Amino acid sequence: MTDISPLAVPAAPDAPEACGFAPCEGGVCAAAGISAAGVSAGFRRNPKRLDLALVVADEPCVAAATFTTNRFCAAPVTVSRAHAADGRARAVVLNSGNANAATGEDGLTCAERACERVAAELGCDPDDVLVCSTGVIGVPLPWEPYEAGVPAVAAALSHDARGAHDAACAVMTTDTVPKEVSLSGIIPQRDGSERTVRVGGFVKGSGMIQPNMATMLAVLATDAPLTVDAARDALRAAVGQSFNKVTVDSDTSTNDTCILLATGAAGGEPIDRAHPAYPAVAAAVRAACVDLARRIAADGEGSTKLVTVTVTGAASDADADAVARAVANSPLVKTAIFGHDANWGRVAAAAGKCGVPFDQRAVDIDFLGVPVCRGGLTVPMDEEDMLRRFEAPEIPITVDLGMGERSTRVWTCDLTHDYVTINGDYRT
């Protein structure tokens, strides 16, 4: 073992406690004014699998959304992008089992009809309904499950944690666990009083994961009275530091969607960017997104480890991000982690190929908080100690480029035999 000190890792600014929030119960329904449900509607072959989710605000409310950057985007993305343009929504309907992607005009018609069916059930405008799909690409989405499923899922709506959990389960594809978060905190008012607000949500995502956005559907809700511009800014910033920092296999999906509903049911003053409560609410939205993003990486298809790649000492944010993603996406790095091999050479090679200029003589690398490279040269390590450290569920890798003061984090997972099996059998 060496007496060389480990690299300093920047403190995470997005822990809930940092913004005065704490975990609470309720998932997406933690936000007042939100109900949710999930049912089996027949989109999937297995009748025991929930496959249709609905999230509803008691009244039309502020909505913000971000979508896939993949130019081969799915029909529900096209429809939801248009419906979310005015910054308002009442409901989000989501199905698993079929992506409704590469389905032409019929796919667009089906997505629009889904919004109309939900709107008729809720008594709202179809433009106030957003639609999401996930599953196999290139297969026509059947209409019949919507016809029977929408009334069933609407009847099952509840404002409690059970409804939130069922909705989270209904959007799972290759996910092994549902992914939910809920936070509660107190925010200030301009008159000196305080209000309790909550942020909750769920996400699906396990494979076909690469920034920007990853293959994911996320629905977040808050009862804070955000304005449209504040909600959009908060969500955009949160996604940039969370879902856009996740990679499993460097593939960007056709269906990625992240939606934030702000009901305002907590009451109090409208919160715009200038309001004293905005930083706390925006930080809570970011903390919720980071929590969900980490859950995606930890549940990467076939994964056994959550891997956090931290790059420090970069000359720019772009340089830090490029190096972190190169390391996180490297099959050789990911397989080394699966094999419990602290092979820092694979990290160095991945960093060096991405086009970011640096002096290899200035590069330091840590595995699991243990120095393995200093100044571009090997630091002797205790192999048995490293094997023991690899038993941890989360594997941190830190790279200091020695070029500046910028840093970033990217979350990924190891690459296992099961990843090949899962994706080889995806359609069957």
DSSP-based three-state secondary structure for 116: helix
The structural domains of the chain, with segments of one domain joined by +, span 16-298, 306-424
Instruction: Give the orientation angle of helix 75-83 with respect to helix 104-122, to 10 degrees.
Output: 50
CB contact set of 12 (below 8 Å; sequence gap of 6+) = 18, 290, 409
CATH class of 306-424: alpha beta
Contact between 291 and 283 under an 8 Å Cβ cutoff? The reply is no
Cα(300)–Cα(423) distance, rounded to whole angstroms?
A: 12
| pTM, full prediction | 0.89
Tokens of 124: 């709202």
Active-site choice (215, 252, 254, 312): 215
The conformational region for residue 33 under phi > 0 = left, psi -120 to 50 = alpha, else beta, is left
- Scored b (16 or more CB within 10 A) or e, 61-91 reads bbbbbbbbebeebbbbbbbbbebbeebbbbb
Report the alpha-carbon distance of residue 146 to residue 153 in Å, rounded.
10
**DSSP string for 323-340:** HHHHHHH-HHHHHHHHTT
- Per-residue buried b or exposed e for 142-170, using 16+ beta carbons within 10 Å of the residue's own CB: eeebbeebbeebbebbebebbbbbbbbbb
For residue 298, what are the contacts with CB-CB under 8 A and spacing of at least 6? 306, 393, 394, 413
Phi/psi-derived region of residue 369, left when phi > 0, alpha when psi is between -120 and 50, beta in every other case: left
Per-position DSSP letters for 272-313, written without gaps between them: -TTSTTHHHHHHHHHHHHHHHHHHHHHT-TT---EEEEEEEE
- Confidence at residue 207, expressed as pLDDT on a 0 to 100 scale: 47
Dist. CA 271–CA 264, nearest whole Å: 9
- Name the residue among 401, 415, 423, 397 with its Cα closest to residue 330: 415
How many H-runs (helices) and E-runs (strands) does the chain carry?
11, 15
- Decide if 312 is catalytic: no
Nearest to 82 by CA among 54, 73, 296: 73
User: Does the domain made of 16-298 have the CATH classification 3.40.50.300?
Assistant: no
Tell me the β-bridge partners of 93: 54, 131
3-state helix, strand, coil in the chain (%, to 5): 35, 25, 40
CB-CB contact of 80 with 109 (8 Å): no
pLDDT string in tens for the chain (428-residue length)? 567 999 998 877 667 777 899 999 999 999 999 999 999 999 998 989 999 999 999 999 999 999 987 778 899 999 999 999 999 999 999 999 999 999 999 999 999 999 999 999 999 999 999 999 998 889 999 999 999 999 999 999 999 999 999 999 999 988 889 999 999 999 999 999 999 999 999 999 764 444 454 458 999 999 999 999 999 999 999 999 998 888 765 555 678 899 999 999 999 999 999 999 999 999 999 999 999 998 988 886 667 889 999 999 999 999 999 999 999 999 999 999 999 999 999 999 999 999 999 999 999 999 999 999 999 999 999 999 999 999 999 999 999 999 999 999 999 888 776 666 655 665 55
In Å, how far are 307, 360, 399 from 376, measured between CA atoms? 22, 5, 11
- Residues near 109 by beta carbon (within 8 Å), at least 6 away in sequence: none
User: Radius of gyration of the chain from Cα atoms?
Assistant: 22
H or E segment and range at residue 219? strand 217-222
